Amino acid sequence: MTRHENTTAPEGGARAVGSDDYALSRVPRDQRLGFWTMLLQWLAQSGSISQFTLGATIGVGMSFGDAFLAFTLGAVILEVVIFAIGLAGMREGLATPLLTRWVGFGRNGSALVSLVIAISLVGWFGVQNTIFGDSVSALVGGPSWMWCAIAGFAITVLVIFGFRYMAVFAKIVTPLFFAMVAWSVTDALSDHSLSELIHSPAPGQAIPLSVAATAIAGGYMTGAIVSPEMTRYNSRSSHVFLQSASSMILSEYIVGLTGVLLGHMVGSGQVSQIVLSTSGVFGVLVVLMSTAKINDWNLYGSSLGVVNFFQVVFGKRLHRGAVTIVLGIAGTLLSAVGIMTHFTDFLSVLGVAIPPIGGIIVAEYWVVRRMRAPLDATREAGTLPATSPTWVPMSLVIWAAAFCVGKFYDGGIPALNSLLTAFVLYCVLGFAGLVRTYGTSTLDDDGTAGPDPAAAPGTATVGAP
């Protein structure tokens, strides 16, 4: 263990299970990881049975050409958001929940962001676990809930020990998963004409372009917003772009569009059996590992959000490893009771509720650039600012307004509408001096945060000269 590894319990000096993984601090520069290690982490997020299922579902309602356009729109939206937010995470060495204290939301607002993200990621954990449980149950028998429990337990154990163990796991799982999937899909498509599948009409009820693009972008938008959880371990900005772009190409254009072809072939979105059918026991094991590789990030990001939430709201510095155990149990239970039945509704809400957070982060960090001054001042030293704004009420108003635009405005792509609305509103109101911070909170030596008793009452203006 190096001198920087943060593995001990934060309070009382007692050792806790697993790694705290800099949950409430910057990742030191000498703990950043190399290009190929991080690339495999990104690529591991590209391959999942749920992405094939999403592609097939879209393929049932769209021609291949229209599906290609939908995946392109979704991928471009995601890549812009991932790079803009992920680059901020790389520069600061901070995860999204902690970053938002100085970027758009303030201390208390970051707690709300953390809670929303944590709930979303636990939901995704349940979705992925359900897909795995149903797929393995159909292939080898046994109740789905049993397989959900097995997968949930394995993932939880992995995530308890943190980022570096997850990185090693990705090096093993990623090549195996894509080799197995290539074998299965090639076998399934070998008796069909690719040209005919590509040019065949949609076999089911038509899906509008805006709905498909929202499902694609919205389905991974939470991942885009929490990309700093990964990029804080990057050492160069070029690495963030190359790795995230590679992940988008693999996820959307190869995995997603292959799912479209499978949907055209069988006329249904239920294609997981096709992906697994020629792989036997080996395939089941690899898919278990690949599910873990997707779901470890859902659980990991959720644990970071909960740690920040409890520190802000309750003044308690929880150990990330202990939080992971609780969330792992919760996510496994969600999968066992059938959260997958609400898959479409979950994606739709996610597609418009999460993007405004990203719009505000990008607007403040890269355009308005008034709240981030404490980060600039402490970046070189690798420490956290001693204080942060307590409230930024206008950011919450902008978030709510942007969500309403995405949810209730019928034109365009809802995920993009809500993100751009938040970005534009924050820029305009910020430069007009209408986005104000209220109060100042200190970061105490023991890791707890609270109002600064020495701070004079009053407000500060974001965007003021």
Apex 375 CA angle, 371 and 377, nearest 5:
110
Q: What's the length of the chain?
A: 465
Q: Which domains does the chain have, with CATH numbers?
A: 33-96+107-356 (1.10.4160.10)
Contact by Cβ (8 Å): 289, 150: no
Reading the block at residue 146, the tokens are: 């049993």
pLDDT computed for residue 122 by the predictor: 82
Instruction: Tell me the chain's radius of gyration from C-alpha atoms.
Output: 22
What is the DSSP secondary structure assignment for residue 31, as one 8-state letter? G
The C-alpha atoms of residue 293 and residue 5 are separated, in whole angstroms, by: 22
Do the bridges between strand 449-451 and strand 435-443 make them parallel or antiparallel, or are there none, so unpaired? antiparallel
Q: In sequence order, what are the residues at sequence separation of 6 or more whose Cβ sits closer than 8 angstroms to the Cβ of residue 75? A: 216, 248, 249, 251, 252, 253
The C-alpha atoms of residue 39 and residue 375 are separated, in whole angstroms, by: 27
Report which of 75, 119, 418 is spatially closest to residue 127, judged by C-alpha positions: 119
The C-alpha atoms of residue 258 and residue 264 are separated, in whole angstroms, by: 10
CB atoms within 10 A of CB 236: 12
Report which of 400, 396, 404, 429 is spatially closest to residue 108, judged by C-alpha positions: 396
Contact by Cβ (8 Å): 244, 76: no
Integer angstrom CA distances of residue 437 from 107, 214, 367, 391, 450: 10, 33, 17, 6, 15
Do the bridges between strand 387-391 and strand 435-443 make them parallel or antiparallel, or are there none, so unpaired? antiparallel
pTM, 2 dp: 0.86
Report which of 320, 308, 319 is spatially closest to residue 441, judged by C-alpha positions: 308
The C-alpha atoms of residue 372 and residue 104 are separated, in whole angstroms, by: 9
Q: Quote the longest CA-to-CA distance of the chain.
A: 75
Strand-pair partners of 449: 443
Query: What string of pLDDT tens digits covers the 465 residues of the chain?
Result: 333 434 344 444 445 678 899 999 999 999 999 999 999 989 888 877 778 888 888 989 999 999 999 999 888 888 999 999 999 999 999 999 999 999 999 999 999 999 988 888 887 888 878 877 887 787 778 898 898 898 899 899 999 999 889 988 888 888 888 887 788 788 778 888 888 888 888 888 899 888 888 788 876 787 888 999 999 999 999 999 999 999 999 988 888 899 899 888 887 777 766 766 655 666 677 667 777 778 898 899 999 999 999 999 998 899 999 999 999 998 888 888 877 656 657 766 776 788 899 999 999 999 999 899 999 999 999 999 999 999 999 999 999 999 999 888 887 778 788 889 999 999 999 999 999 999 999 875 444 444 444 443 444 445 433
pLDDT computed for residue 265 by the predictor: 87
The C-alpha atoms of residue 133 and residue 295 are separated, in whole angstroms, by: 13
Reading the block at residue 400, the tokens are: 């709510």
Phi, psi dihedral angles at 464 (to 5 degrees): -75, 150
